[in-house]
Structure 1
């Protein structure tokens, strides 16, 4: 599992950096993303809805979100 620590970054950087990290991953790999941006709780799930990657879990820490994401396989028929 790869950890992407986005502590201190504000919208839209957490979503953009998460997208970039996922593009470089193989299907089935997992990415753990930590973000202190309050909007990450909305932006990261919305990003994954768009990309088709799977949100495995969301944990809420006192000052951050911790997302565990699984990279999706290639889209069929693409």
Structure 2
């Protein structure tokens, strides 16, 4: 799942290592590595991450090609 966790973690406002973020969230550093690399996570952890960064989860986590999967193909009838 695409996300901006790494961007937020390294931003001027937070400037955290993976280990520091993991400790703040109560997870392993490997969990943070997995999330930053696009791995899936639980809804609970997504909410904890969004609360930590004070953002809506939809601002942090997003699914590739949602628009394409929800749109119906256009017909070429003229």
Which TM-score band (shorter chain)? under 0.3
**TM, length-normalised to structure 1:** 0.24
**TM, length-normalised to structure 2:** 0.24
**Which structure's residues are more often helix, by fraction?**
2
Structure with the greater alpha carbon radius of gyration: 2
